[in-house]
Amino acid sequence: MQTQHSSWFTSQNICKVLVGAKLISKDQALDLLRRESQVSEIISKKQGGKSSKDLSLIDVILYLNLERQDQPGKIIDEDLIYKAFAAAWKLEYKKIDPLKLELKTVTGTISKSFALKHLLLPLQVEEGKLVVATPNPFNLEAVKDVEMVSKLKVRTIVSSKSDVEKLIREFFGFQYSISAAEDLFSRKGVDLGNLEKFVSLTAVDDLPSTDQHIVNAVNHLFSYSFDQKASDIHVEPKRDICLVRMRIDGVLHTVYKLPKQLHNAVVSRIKTLSGLDMAEKRRPQDGRIKMGKGDTEVEIRVSTIPVAFGEKLVLRIMDPDILFQDLEMLGFSPDDFKKYKRLISLPFGIVLVTGPTGSGKSTTLYSSLRMLSSPEVNITTIEDPIEMIHEEFNQIAVQPAISVTFGSVLRNILRQDPDIIMVGEIRDLETAQSAVQAALTGHLVLSTLHTNDAVSTVFRLLDLGIPPYLVHSSLNGIVAQRLVRKICPYCAQSFEMDARELAGLGLKIEQTGAVELKHGKGCVKCRQTGYMGRTGIYEILPYSEALKRMTSNDADLEAMRGKAVKEGLVMLRQNGIRKMLEGKTTYQEILRVTWDLI
Ligand SMILES: [Zn+2]
């Protein structure tokens, strides 16, 4: 697209701006100018014949993954380049947060083709002016056209080209699907003559969920949620609108407000996909959808519940990239990783993973099973409900209503010759007894328990009613865990805190004096939270001979804990403190997830 290349985007000028911003050196600039045509040829071949004339030096720089000369190790990305231009133009630069955009504002003023041709993305109305993001703010003709159409003064700000292009496509695509569906819907029953067939099709009060526009709109919702790494999508009926919200890094964001008429159609589409009973609207239902996302398959758990203004849907996205990870990447310290690997490599016995809800137990279990799986072993899981389907496992869901419980399934599957058994959770004596039985008959059993730390888990088993001698002979070891948020790498900053101050908060460290820590200042990439992604902190307790000897019905928790520490147990909070000192997380996070521990 030649139109967006104003005289600003000549190779000479690009170099001048980037050298001025200290992103590249003068020598690098000369080198770039020498290599430009050669690299452009390579890129255009890779992109399948796109003419190298359409590429600018910016594309070349991005392709080469150049490091910033002022901050070696950091790559020059598109944002940095356009930020440098914005500074040269004395204009505001903005990384657009798509969650803050209003569908109506973006798509309401100009057409998609106009927006794409001139790379103009209307963001919002601010103090009577329409704020428009663009990588090229000097297309004055086009800006004038926008002012005429919108009857508003335009204030242009700078954003990267690929962001603007991507968001134009996304928002207009979605808007098109929504309005087309709405249009079709509002015509329903108006012109009976021509639309008789259509009307009979929609005699039920829904637009057919197979309607292509609704299909597109729902597809868009999914791909958008994958893009944003959302963990849940909520589709909520309100009095006049249908609200779509997404949970990202633990927080709900409102993403769309759709016309209320479309609510039923969207719900029907999702119910069809998840195999739910379309006619049933008054009782809660559960279903699941399997969906491709890049090379992986994502599983989405759907639940419906009737609320005042209709059916509310919650979709939980079970991302295999999260549930099935490389064990080594979960956050174990190298020492703990070795200990844990040993525990699950034993041919039989019980390994328990403990922690509160949402502490990442499922990820640990699934990732362990995946590591253990091979054609030579039979892995069977008993779950409530099955969180994630994996072809190599035999997975069974418990159904208490028909007496299919953890305990009863466990007794029966021993006849199915499993090698490794995963039991979703040990809640009662029956399950605990069956797990012990399985372990004693030569099976490796992985399961979870609701306890706060590793040592007290031994006591929980005794409390459930398992006699000490059976605990001795069946338990291999225990993992206690929590999830902490990781500091956002884009806005991490160092600061100092006094060791005594940390100790006062309950975080005792060996150092004295000033300690260097990190925290996230907050930026667009982390939605101003200062955090991005999560990692585990662990406590790994191999159940040693000495600990076995101490296990009895009148055992002393503190004595056993003391012994475990002597044998090398690094406790949860201590593991967290290590992560804090490594600059991976904050002291607030450690306190938040270990407040219930000593
Ligand atoms: Zn950040």
Q: In what order do the strands lie in the sheet with 241-248?
A: 251-259, 241-248, 230-237, 310-318, 296-307, 285-293
Tokens, residue 275: 């195999």
Whole-number pLDDT of residue 422: 95
Rounded Cα distance between 232 and 250, Å, is: 9
Average pLDDT, the chain: 87
Tokens, residue 453: 């730390």
Whole-number pLDDT of residue 194: 33
What's the 586 CA to ligand 1 centre distance in angstroms? 14
Whole-number pLDDT of residue 82: 94
Residue 236: Cβ within 10 Å count: 18
What counts of helices (H) and strands (E) characterise the chain? 23, 18
What's the 248 CA to ligand 1 centre distance in angstroms? 14
Whole-number pLDDT of residue 290: 85
What's the 521 CA to ligand 1 centre distance in angstroms? 6
Over residues 486-495, the mean pLDDT reads 92
Would the pLDDT of 222 be above 50? yes
What's the 81 CA to ligand 1 centre distance in angstroms? 19
What's the 532 CA to ligand 1 centre distance in angstroms? 7
What's the 396 CA to ligand 1 centre distance in angstroms? 41
Would the pLDDT of 180 be above 50? yes
Most confident of the following: 83-92, 94-103, 207-216: 83-92
What's the 517 CA to ligand 1 centre distance in angstroms? 16
Q: Tell me: the pLDDT tens digits for 503-540? A: 888 888 888 899 999 999 988 778 788 988 889 999 99
What's the 99 CA to ligand 1 centre distance in angstroms? 16
What's the 488 CA to ligand 1 centre distance in angstroms? 4
What's the 448 CA to ligand 1 centre distance in angstroms? 34
pTM: 0.66
Rounded Cα distance between 142 and 315, Å, is: 41
Q: Tell me: the pLDDT tens digits for 8-33? A: 788 999 999 999 999 999 999 999 99
Over residues 262-277, the mean pLDDT reads 90
Q: What is the full DSSP assignment across 148-184? A: HHHTSEEEEEE--HHHHHHHHHHHHHHHHHHHHHHHH
Ion ligand 1: residues, CB < 5 A: 488, 490-491, 520, 523, 526
Over residues 551-556, the mean pLDDT reads 92
Would the pLDDT of 388 be above 90? no
Helix (H) or strand (E) segment spanning residue 450? none
Whole-number pLDDT of residue 203: 33
Residue 141: Cβ within 10 Å count: 9
Q: What confidence tier does 204 reach under pLDDT thresholds 50, 70, 90?
A: very low
What's the 66 CA to ligand 1 centre distance in angstroms? 22
Contact between 479 and 539 under an 8 Å Cβ cutoff? The reply is yes
Cα within 13 Å of Cα(356), Cβ side: 10
What's the 519 CA to ligand 1 centre distance in angstroms? 10
What's the 105 CA to ligand 1 centre distance in angstroms? 27
What's the 494 CA to ligand 1 centre distance in angstroms? 13
- Residues whose CB is less than 8 angstroms from the CB of residue 504 and which lie 6 or more positions away in sequence, other chains included: none
Would the pLDDT of 3 be above 70? no
Residue 150: Cβ within 10 Å count: 18
Over residues 539-545, the mean pLDDT reads 96
What's the 487 CA to ligand 1 centre distance in angstroms? 8
Residue with tokens 């585990």: 536
Helices 587-594 and 572-581, packing angle to 10 deg: 170
Q: Tell me: the pLDDT tens digits for 135-179? A: 999 888 999 999 998 899 999 999 999 899 988 888 888 877 777
What's the 53 CA to ligand 1 centre distance in angstroms? 36
Q: Tell me: the pLDDT tens digits for 63-93? A: 998 889 888 878 899 999 999 999 999 999 9
Rounded Cα distance between 77 and 98, Å, is: 19
Would the pLDDT of 310 be above 80? yes
What's the 79 CA to ligand 1 centre distance in angstroms? 14
Over residues 253-269, the mean pLDDT reads 85
Tokens, residue 511: 């150092």
Q: What confidence tier does 49 reach under pLDDT thresholds 50, 70, 90?
A: low
Cα first-last separation, the chain: 63
What's the 96 CA to ligand 1 centre distance in angstroms? 14
Would the pLDDT of 210 be above 60? no
Backbone φ and ψ of 275, nearest 5°: 70, 30
Q: What confidence tier does 208 reach under pLDDT thresholds 50, 70, 90?
A: low
Quote the radius of gyration of the chain (alpha carbons, Å).
Answer: 29
Q: Tell me: the pLDDT tens digits for 398-436? A: 888 888 888 888 888 888 888 999 999 999 999 999 999
What's the 524 CA to ligand 1 centre distance in angstroms? 6
Higher pLDDT, 63 or 182: 63
- Long-range CB contacts for residues 23-31, cutoff 8 Å, separation at least 24: 23/68, 23/69, 23/70, 23/76, 23/80, 23/81, 23/84, 24/61, 24/66, 24/68, 24/69, 24/76, 25/69, 28/66, 28/69
CA 392 to chain centre: 24
Q: Tell me: the pLDDT tens digits for 189-199? A: 433 333 333 33
Tokens, residue 196: 């008789």
- Residues whose CB is less than 8 angstroms from the CB of residue 16 and which lie 6 or more positions away in sequence, other chains included: none
Whole-number pLDDT of residue 192: 32
- Reduce the DSSP state of residue 82 to 3 states and report it: helix
Q: Tell me: the pLDDT tens digits for 333-351? A: 999 999 999 999 999 999 9
Whole-number pLDDT of residue 61: 92
- Residues whose CB is less than 8 angstroms from the CB of residue 204 and which lie 6 or more positions away in sequence, other chains included: none
